[in-house]
Amino acid sequence: MDSSNDQIRRQITEVLKRYWGFTSFRSVQEQIILSVLARRDTLALMPTGGGKSLTYQIPGLVNDGICLVVTPLIALMKDQVDRLRKMGIQATAVHSGLSAHQIDIALDNCVYGDMKFLYVAPERLTSEAFRLRIRRMKVSLLAVDEAHCISQWGYDFRPSYLRIAELREMLPDTPVLALTASATPRVAEDIMEKLRFTTPHLIRSSFSRPNLSYSVRRTDDKNEQLLRIIRNVGGTGIVYVRTREGAEQIASFLREEGIPAGFYHGGLGHAERTMRQDDWITGKSPVMVATNAFGMGIDKADVRYVVHYSMCDSLESYYQEAGRAGRDGNRSYAVLLISPGDEGRIAKRFEAEFPPLDKIRTIYEKVCNYLQIAIGDGAQSGFPFNLPDFCAREHLYTGTVQNALKILRQNGYMTLTDEMENPARILFCVSRDELYRIRVDRNDLDHFIRTLLRLYEGVFTDFRPINEQEIATWSGYTPQKVRELLQRLWQLRLIRYIPSNRSAILYMDEERLPTADLYISPESYRRRQELTRERFEQMLAYASNETTCRSLFLERYFGAEDPHDCGICDLCLARKRAARGKEPDMNKLREELMQRLTTETLEPQEVASALPYPPEKIAEAIGKLRDEGKIYLNGEGKITINR
């Protein structure tokens, strides 16, 4: 058995080196991979930046068959597929932004080709096309990313995730790997239950970040504190704010103070966001002031500080965003700025989080009208949705609409996905018979219309994605001429035409209902309120805490079994400073030192960081315990109990 395990270890290490160039695994990566290869259902809790994707990609390459990856993040999906293809690995994705024809091709390639990875958005699991194909695929592993979305106790519940359990019935012999960066013990249990684990099996990476110093600063002048942090720490940093206006204003303030700073939010165009992100990564603008739209999928190891100018809604969000600092292992800082009145603003945000039920129904109706979806239509279809434009037209506050859409998603009506490139779409406004009766200039349009009808089905009943390059190839026109002809058909009111664009996709999980028939469960609404209030309160508790180590507070929240003081947060450092001012109790110091060493071996400097005593007194205690033969330095230079 041991030799077999050694052989598997050698095999997965060879795959790691061949494709990624690494010679060893991080943290619990190897343990998770071995568990998956042993065909055990596994829930892996790994912090952001911990290398989650490798834990399913390596088993996917080692095993015969295809690895099915469920994820709601379309941008991440496309990024992963592109990276795998660059390494010569066959991968594809199925999501709301693809046409039915493109989805058919992708799924057929998974059935008949040599595809190794299929990424799929959760809302696509219910489609007939997917269900027919999945039974004919040889699926070696079902990987569920962002697994907290399956739990109603989680902070981002999505009903479409509950359909993953039905996949297990279709794939009874396929093991499941569920992955999340943040889940409380209650959420972890719920994930394993909802995914029908044969036996509960949780592998938890440490949530401790020994190089990351957490602190909370209370101030009447956040701008002055922000300047002090940036100037004292230096290097690359992120400043998180709540609003787009705030991002622009604070970046402008920093530039006036001589600090190269850019801003980033969802209201910027794709090209501008890419440019700003590149300026930050290359160090041209080392400070990025951003909303939470910034950070997902960005791999920059040398971020020295993350400052939260505004409080997050939950510790899950705070831990994930703060964790973007110090991934290179060097000392970094996560600072939360608090000013008088912040708690009141948090309370107002909480109220806005849950608009009244009548308001949600009204927003549902307005969204459907904006997208021109008729009652009874739209089921299982995706529509480009420009949230800022919708809010401006309807004179609605963006936060209210976002929260209404979140509640509508949680009740299974519609899902707003992340922003992506969308193909052009058309819908004929007249019937096929009427089209031939209408007198139009036949020179170009007759041939062009016939080409459209030959290439695309269903264009009389629903918006259909089209490929302007494909139309050009079949019609003999240039792509520019194709766009001109589409515009002419639009002007003649023969079609509705949405040019290719970059926007979010709103996916209709169900057909549009009459507003009076829209049912939002009062019980689920109240439960979401209670859960949101709990998370707000935990965030407030973290901010107001003045006694417990910041890192220990976070680790306990996420269910760590034996967390320790970090020694480097603001509260630990304050205790150390206070301890230096009085003579320590040497007997107590010895007891704490021996107790710490019963669970782990430590380097002398680690002991100095971990215990709230002057370094010279710690060194004195270590020397006496060595003289007494109770401890010794092992071959790695770590202090060990002499048992």
The band of 439, judged by pLDDT with boundaries at 50, 70 and 90, is low
Residues 354 and 406 in one domain: yes
Least confident range from 44-53, 310-319, 390-399: namely: 44-53
Q: What is the per-residue pLDDT for 97?
A: 67
Residue 545 scores a pLDDT above 50: yes
Does 450 lie in the same domain as 518? no
At how many degrees (to 10) do helices 357-370 and 398-410 cross?
100
Q: And the tokens for 506?
A: 């709103």
Question: Does the pLDDT at position 614 exceed 80?
Answer: no
pLDDT of residue 334: 96
Query: For the packed helices 342-353 and 522-544, what is the interaxial angle rounded to 10 degrees?
Result: 160
pLDDT confidence of residue 297 = 60
Domain assignment present for residue 536? The answer is: no
- Summarize the confidence of residues 435-440 as an average pLDDT: 68
Q: Does residue 38 sit within a domain?
A: yes
Q: Is residue 298 part of a domain?
A: yes
Do residue 381 and residue 451 come from a single domain?
no
Q: Share the mean pLDDT of the chain.
A: 87
Q: Is the pLDDT of residue 509 over 90?
A: no
Whether 571 is in a domain gets the answer no
CATH code for position 228: 3.40.50.300
Residue 282 has pLDDT above 50, yes or no: yes
419 falls in which pLDDT band (50, 70, 90)? low
pLDDT beyond 90 at 182: no
CA angle 349, 354, 358 (to 5 degrees): 135
Residues 403 and 436 in one domain: no
Q: What phi-psi label fits residue 27: left (phi over 0), alpha (psi between -120 and 50 degrees) or beta?
A: left
Determine the average pLDDT of the residues in 433-447: 71
Please tell me the distance from the alpha carbon of residue 642 to that of residue 628, in angstroms, as a whole number.
10
Instruction: State which H helix or E strand residue 639 sits in.
Output: strand 639-641
Strand order through the sheet with 66-70: 91-94, 117-120, 66-70, 139-144, 176-180, 42-45, 202-204
Q: Does position 440 have pLDDT exceeding 70, yes or no?
A: no
Q: Is the pLDDT reported for residue 550 higher than 90? A: yes
Do 305 and 239 lie in one domain? The reply is yes
Residues 244 and 100 in one domain: no
Q: Mind listing the pLDDT tens digit for each residue in 228-255?
A: 999 999 999 999 998 889 999 999 999 9
**Residue 576, in any domain of the structure:** no
Structure tokens given for 246: 């705030």
**Mean pLDDT over residues 626-634, rounded?**
86
How does DSSP classify residue 44? E
- Split at pLDDT 50, 70, 90, the class of 52 is confident
385: number of Cβ within 10 Å? 21
Looking up residue 587, the CATH number of its domain turns out to be 1.10.10.10
pLDDT tens by residue, 188-243:
999 999 999 999 999 988 888 889 999 999 998 999 999 999 999 999 999 999 88
Considering only CA atoms, which of 152, 160, 155, 308 is closest in space to residue 240?
A: 308
Which own/partner pairs from 384-390 qualify as long-range (CB within 8 Å, at least 24 positions apart)?
A: 384/422, 384/425, 384/498, 384/501, 384/503, 384/504, 384/505, 384/506, 385/416, 385/503, 385/504, 385/505, 385/506, 386/503, 386/504, 387/266, 387/416, 387/504, 388/267, 390/366
Contacts of 467 (CB under 8 A, 6+ apart): 99, 423, 424
197, 228: one domain: no
Q: What is the pLDDT of residue 551?
A: 94
Same domain assignment for residues 416 and 519: yes
pLDDT of residue 1: 46
The HSE-up count of residue 26 (CA atoms within 13 Å, CB side) is 17
Domain-located, residue 539: no
Structure tokens at 608: 């100095």
For residue 130, pLDDT beyond 50: yes
Identify the residue with better confidence: 68 or 503: 68
Closest CA to 207 of 33, 369, 46: 46
> Worst-scoring range by mean pLDDT, 48-52, 323-327, 418-422, 595-599?
418-422
Calculate helix-pair angle for 398-410, 387-394, nearest 10 degrees.
110
The predicted structure's pLDDT at residue 277: 87
Q: Are residues 70 and 121 in the same domain?
A: yes
416 CB contacts (<8 Å, ≥6 apart)?
385, 387, 405, 409, 504, 505, 506, 507
| Per-range mean pLDDT, top range of 388-402, 583-597, 629-643 | 388-402
Q: What's the pLDDT score for residue 548?
A: 93
CA separation for the pair 199, 41 (Å, rounded): 7
Quote the number of domains for the chain. 5
The pLDDT > 90 percentage for the chain reads 38
248: number of CA atoms within 13 Å, CB side?
A: 7
388 and 484 part of one domain: no
Q: How confident is the model at residue 304 (pLDDT cuts 50, 70, 90)?
A: very high
Would you tell me how many other CB atoms lie within 10 Å of the CB of residue 434? 12
| Residue type at 15 in one-letter notation | V
CATH number for the domain that contains residue 475: 1.10.10
Can you give the pLDDT at residue 184? 82
In a domain, 570, yes or no: no
Rounded CA-CA distance 246/41 in Å is 44
Residue 573 lies in a domain: no
Residue with tokens 């202090």: 639
Best CA proximity match to 75, nearest among 255, 298, 365: 298
Burial of 161 (0-12, 13-18, 19+ CB in 10 A): buried
Q: What range defines the domain where residue 49 resides?
A: 2-204
pLDDT digits 0-9 by tens, 465-488:
888 888 998 888 998 899 889 988
